[in-house]
């Protein structure tokens, strides 16, 4: 706006000056060339000269525009083609979101133009997969790789995800390992590897890769701890249920157990892992090792099944085992399961009267068939037959009608 105003003022000033000089006199110009003679005033000559210069400039500009017309037209066509491709891509993505797989693939492939066509190929590969055409999906993944230089990682991660969704876990693992070799420091490759290992139930591999993901904050801390707990649970379960020789080797089992981080041992839910592990350890005859490890775990997870299990195993030092159980009783004086366990450990120490007292105290807290059985056995051993029979009768747990029974006959 300011420039236009300044230019207008300049023209007015120039016009005023020019008008002033034209009023002073018209001047005279004579041009003679061979038989041609031109006579005119100075001001007409100047105006004619300016008009000629402007006309020549206009002709040159027109010729230049005419020469540029093909490239301009080509640029227009190119822009129009890109806009059409974008519109088709958008329609394809909308169809994909709406679950119209065939329509989505059609529009996406029609819009696969220019530098961004890798997006079309990847989205079309997903549409083909949803249609169940895995072979064509893989072909589109290959086209995506060829379409854009330097996109191997992005395409590879998408391919691995599609393979996992197809439950082609071994192929997905192979894809991830190839990417790992190409991009060893890329943590999203590790994240995809985690999915493949989890799907294949390779829990040791899961545990090996989790710390890297946690270090680089790829997983939230809560999710990391949850996955670590799950991986150890599945690993322990696989080991104890295996028929291999290592599953019955206490040293091998304890080596894995001692490798579990303290943060995992403290988590809620770890008691289930401990129950399965120590029950198996007891069953293979490693009683001393089981007792020793239970003393470490019980202060963290005072689970009734672990407490009862502590009374099933005989430690290297049964006196020390009894003292530990008594310390636990100070914190839980009326715990029926702990009282039952104390009764058994007292018997291990040949403290029969004390053991009986613990059994009776446990029975007062909880009417348990297991406790009644222990008391029956102890009563019989002490010659207290009536008490033993009464306890066994209670152990049947059934109310019977009174019926005549045969009289006892002397032998």
- Cβ contacts of 209 within 8 Å, gap of 6 or more: 190, 193, 194, 197
pLDDT recorded at residue 406: 45
pLDDT recorded at residue 296: 96
Out of 78-82, 232-236, 242-246, 286-290, least confident range? 78-82
For the chain, the average pLDDT equals: 84
Predicted confidence (pLDDT) per residue in 374-384, tens digit:
888 888 888 88
- Determine contact, residues 157/179, Cβ cutoff 8 Å: yes
**Does residue 403 surpass a pLDDT of 50?**
no
Predicted confidence (pLDDT) per residue in 257-311, tens digit:
999 999 999 999 999 999 999 999 999 999 999 999 999 999 999 999 999 999 9
Out of 136-140, 188-192, 204-208, 389-393, least confident range? 389-393
pLDDT recorded at residue 411: 45
**Does residue 80 surpass a pLDDT of 80?**
no
Out of 16-25, 103-112, 348-357, 370-379, least confident range? 16-25
pLDDT recorded at residue 376: 86
Domains detected in the chain: 219-307 (no CATH), 317-395 (1.25.40.10)
**Does residue 251 surpass a pLDDT of 80?**
yes
Place of tokens 């016009």: 15
Distance CA 214, CA 72 (A): 55
**Does residue 205 surpass a pLDDT of 80?**
yes
pLDDT recorded at residue 400: 43
Pairing assessment for the beta strands 36-40 and 29-33 based on DSSP bridges: antiparallel
When comparing pLDDT for 66 and 60, which is higher?
60
pLDDT recorded at residue 405: 42
Neighbours of 400 (CB within 10 A): 7
């Amino acid at each position: 706006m300011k420039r236009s105003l300044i230019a207008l003022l300049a023209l007015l000033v120039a016009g005023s000056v020019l008008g002033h000089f034209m009023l002073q006199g018209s001047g005279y110009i004579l041009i003679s060339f061979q038989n041609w003679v031109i006579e005119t005033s100075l001001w007409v000559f100047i105006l004619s000269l300016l008009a000629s210069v402007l006309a020549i400039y206009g002709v040159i500009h027109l010729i230049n525009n005419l020469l540029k017309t093909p490239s301009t037209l080509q640029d227009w066509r190119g822009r129009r083609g890109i806009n059409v491709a974008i519109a088709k891509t958008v329609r394809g993505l909308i169809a994909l979101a709406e679950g119209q797989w065939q329509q989505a693939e059609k529009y996406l492939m029609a819009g696969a133009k220019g530098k961004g066509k890798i997006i079309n190929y990847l989205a079309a590969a997903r549409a083909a997969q949803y249609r169940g055409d895995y072979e064509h999906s893989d072909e589109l993944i290959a086209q995506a790789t060829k379409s854009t230089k330097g996109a191997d990682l992005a395409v590879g991660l998408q391919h691995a995800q599609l393979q996992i969704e197809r439950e082609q876990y071994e192929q997905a693992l192979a894809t991830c390992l190839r990417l790992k070799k190409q991009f060893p420091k890329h943590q999203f490759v590790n994240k995809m590897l985690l999915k493949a290992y989890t799907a294949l139930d390779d829990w040791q591999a899961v545990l090996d890769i989790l710390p890297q993901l946690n270090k680089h904050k790829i997983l939230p801390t809560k999710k990391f701890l949850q996955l670590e707990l799950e991986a150890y649970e599945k690993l322990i379960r696989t080991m104890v249920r295996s028929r291999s020789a290592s599953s019955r080797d206490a040293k091998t089992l304890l080596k894995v157990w001692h490798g579990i981080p303290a943060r995992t041992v403290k988590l809620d839910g770890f008691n289930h892992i401990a129950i399965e592990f120590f029950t198996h350890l007891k069953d293979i005859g490693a009683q001393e090792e089981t007792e020793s490890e239970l003393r470490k775990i019980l202060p963290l997870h005072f689970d009734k099944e672990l407490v009862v299990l502590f009374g099933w195993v005989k430690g290297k030092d049964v006196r020390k085992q009894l003292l530990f159980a008594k310390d636990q009783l100070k914190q839980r004086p009326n715990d029926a399961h702990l009282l039952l366990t104390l009764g058994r450990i007292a018997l291990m120490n040949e403290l029969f009267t004390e053991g009986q007292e613990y059994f009776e105290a446990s029975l007062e807290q909880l009417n348990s068939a297991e406790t009644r059985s222990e008391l029956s056995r102890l009563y019989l051993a002490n010659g207290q037959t009536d008490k033993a029979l009464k306890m066994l009768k209670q152990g049947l747990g059934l109310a019977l009608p009174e019926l005549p029974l045969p009289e006892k006959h002397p032998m």
